[in-house]
Amino acid sequence: VVKQIKRIHQDDAVRLFFYLLNEMIQSLDIPKNSPQIAFTVSEKFPKITANLNNFTALQISGKKNNVTLSLLFKKEYLSKPALQHKNVEFEEKGNADYSLGKIKFQDKHLLQNDSIVQYWIDSLQDLTQIASATNHRESHNRAVYQAAEDEAFRSELFAKNTSMARVVAEPTETYQKRKERPAIPLNYIYYGAPGTGKTYEVQRLCQLYAHKIVTFHQSFGYEEFVEGIRPETIGDKITYKVRKGVFYEACLEALRAADYQSFEGCIADTAESRQKRFAQAPVVLMVMDEINRANVSKVLGELITLIEPSKRLGAADELWLTLPYSQEKFGVPANLYIVGTMNTADRSIALLDTALRRRFYFNECLPDVSALSEKVIENTNVGKLLTTLNERIEFLHDRDHVIGHAYFLNVQTFEELCELFRFQVIPLLQEYFYDDWRKIQLVLGDNEAWGKPLDAKLIQTKRQYTANMERELFGEDLDNADAVVTYQLNPMLTEGRFGELPRDMFRRIYER
């Protein structure tokens, strides 16, 4: 099998072949000793074939840039729109019911089309009902079956293929030049109020390095992040498979960047070699957006220890563990940078526990008023406006609930500023202050003592109830200790009549 991988010389195509073969094995529930199958490796040609009964169910053939994958379909499916694609060529195999569809690897998106794969699996379902033994059983190669089903074994096959180029001499030149690394710790969290540039900083890093991104949410767990068992329905049959999560995939990508094909291959290497490889390997980022929206301890599980810099693969005190579902050995590579973002203003979030905080560095992102210092709209200095708003919010609430500069960056006109306050700033203040309109008035300078004219107020006092007004409204005196005041947004603002609003209404927020 290793020699055939080398002959085909297109590793991604072979990986796709094994992925499809695993789908076939799992979906059809084919045991490894089934007399119906024969997975053969050609001695003369670059070709691996999966035979089911006496049919070619799946095949990879060709080499380099001319690799083809062939799948067996019932002819009744050939009229389906997905199989009408011009780059799917069908070959008659002397049977009235089936035809072999050939797809070039360069058109691999067709092989990842759910409909095409489902038609293929459905076509093979009927073949399994035929109690027939294949004529190719004596040529059956058990390693092909194992490579399809066992990811670690498959990775070792590819590792043996690529290692042939390395065994001739010790790769001394490989480690001479260290790849540039980001100027942040391995575990790093940007935190702050909305619009303070957390995502912007992460995007800058993602432009420079390979990365995986996931957004945490309340139902996100270990099974989605690392690995878990998930049900799949094929026809009327339900199967359960171990599926890898985004963090596992990120670790595997970082591992491959260090020239390992699997965790097993990394374990088999010497500690000194691991340290050198990971020290020089390209960086991979694992970005966890809104990290505190999920139960982080539940998501990370036992990984909370492995992410420590001193416990990473390639570090002095490196640690491994066995994953609970797949029973595979697992560790976190030293070239994997874990970067998170955390919104401090979201009151629906979970708090990070002390154990997690100890393993991360935290960088607070504050509003950058300097980015707005030169921005003037009509007669309003936007930098001064934001500074005043945030000083008042911090006094009345706290610094975790300020307004970020990013809200104002793309605002160019008075009308856009009106829309920003109507649809974003005021609703944000409602969230911050739990609809305490008196405090929102204070933040916006709409309180009576600030001295704005009525039409310049964003939040207006609608009515202040007296005892007589209460009796008129309810027919009795209510036992209210405080006078009841109701509020409304400026009608011209809510109705979109921005042209009728005073052009200095936003300047009056910070200037009496």
The residues, any chain, with a CB within 8 Å of residue 258's CB and separated by 6 or more, are 266, 274, 277, 278, 280, 281, 314, 333, 335
pLDDT of residue 168: 37
Inside any domain, residue 177: no
Taking a C-beta distance cutoff of 8 angstroms, is the pair 28, 124 a contact?
yes
118 and 236 share one domain: no
- Which residues are paired to 50 by β-bridges? 39, 58
pLDDT of residue 149: 84
Inside any domain, residue 176: no
Taking a C-beta distance cutoff of 8 angstroms, is the pair 372, 408 a contact?
yes
Residue for token digits 């010389």?
Answer: 9
Q: Give the domain-ending residue among 365, 392, 417.
A: 365
- Of residues 244, 243, 261, 258, the one with CA closest to residue 155: 261
Write down the pTM of the prediction. 0.67
Inside any domain, residue 89: yes
Inside any domain, residue 168: no
Domain count, the chain: 3
Inside any domain, residue 171: no
110 and 187 share one domain: no
Phi, psi for residue 258 in degrees, rounded to 5:
-90, 10
Can you tell me the distance from the alpha carbon of 426 to that of 295, in angstroms, rounded to the nearest whole number? 30
Reported for 410-415, long-range contacts at CB under 8 A and 24+ positions apart, including other chains, are 411/375, 411/377, 411/382, 412/377, 413/377, 414/377, 414/378, 414/498, 414/503, 415/498
The amino acid at residue 243 is: R
Reported for 393-401, long-range contacts at CB under 8 A and 24+ positions apart, including other chains, are 393/429, 393/432, 393/443, 396/433, 396/439, 396/442, 396/443, 397/432, 397/433, 397/439, 399/193, 400/193, 400/344, 400/345, 401/193, 401/344, 401/345, 401/432
139 and 210 share one domain: no
Measured CA to CA in angstroms, residue 177 lies from 258, 264, 335, 425 at distances of: 14, 26, 15, 50
13 and 112 share one domain: yes
105 and 186 share one domain: no
CATH code, domain carrying 62: 3.90.1150
Inside any domain, residue 411: yes
Helices (H), 397-486: 414-420, 426-432, 437-444, 467-474
231 and 152 share one domain: no
pLDDT of residue 351: 61
* Reduced 3-state DSSP string for 331-374: CCECCEEEEEEEECCCCCCCCCCHHHHHCCEEEEECCCHHHHCC
Residue range(s) defining the domain that contains residue 468: 369-510
CATH code, domain carrying 353: 3.40.50.300
pLDDT of residue 490: 97
Measured CA to CA in angstroms, residue 178 lies from 163, 189, 274 at distances of: 22, 25, 15
189 and 125 share one domain: no
Could you tell me whether strands 321-322 and 284-289 are parallel, antiparallel, or unpaired per DSSP bridges?
unpaired
Can you tell me the distance from the alpha carbon of 289 to that of 430, in angstroms, rounded to the nearest whole number? 24
Phi, psi for residue 221 in degrees, rounded to 5:
-140, -175
Can you tell me the distance from the alpha carbon of 446 to that of 438, in angstroms, rounded to the nearest whole number? 9
pLDDT of residue 38: 86
What tokens does 293 get?
Answer: 């929206």
- Which residues are paired to 101 by β-bridges? 71, 90
pLDDT of residue 347: 56
Q: Give the domain-ending residue among 349, 365, 381.
A: 365
Taking a C-beta distance cutoff of 8 angstroms, is the pair 304, 230 a contact?
no
What does the angle CA 403 – CA 407 – CA 409 come to, to the nearest 5 degrees?
125
pLDDT of residue 275: 92
441 and 487 share one domain: yes
12 and 127 share one domain: yes
Can you tell me the distance from the alpha carbon of 202 to that of 351, in angstroms, rounded to the nearest whole number? 22
- Which residues are paired to 234 by β-bridges? 237
- Three-state secondary-structure class, residue 292: helix
Can you tell me the distance from the alpha carbon of 261 to that of 471, in angstroms, rounded to the nearest whole number? 80
Q: Give the domain-ending residue among 100, 132, 163.
A: 163
What tokens does 238 get?
Answer: 């339900």
Inside any domain, residue 321: yes
Can you tell me the distance from the alpha carbon of 244 to that of 326, in angstroms, rounded to the nearest whole number? 9
197: left (phi over 0), alpha (psi -120 to 50) or beta: left
Can you tell me the distance from the alpha carbon of 398 to that of 394, in angstroms, rounded to the nearest whole number? 4
DSSP letter, residue 425: I
354 and 376 share one domain: no
384 and 470 share one domain: yes
Inside any domain, residue 169: no
48 and 125 share one domain: yes
Taking a C-beta distance cutoff of 8 angstroms, is the pair 382, 507 a contact?
no
Measured CA to CA in angstroms, residue 124 lies from 14, 27, 71 at distances of: 21, 10, 10
Task: For the chain, list residues with pLDDT below 50.
Answer: 165-178
Compute the 3-state secondary structure of the chain and give helix, strand, coil in percent, each to the nearest 5: 45, 20, 35
Q: Quickly count helices (H) and strands (E) in the chain.
A: 21, 19
Residue 241, class by beta-carbon neighbours within 10 Å (0-12 exposed, 13-18 middle, 19+ buried)? middle
Q: Give the DSSP H/E element, type plus range, for residue 451.
A: none
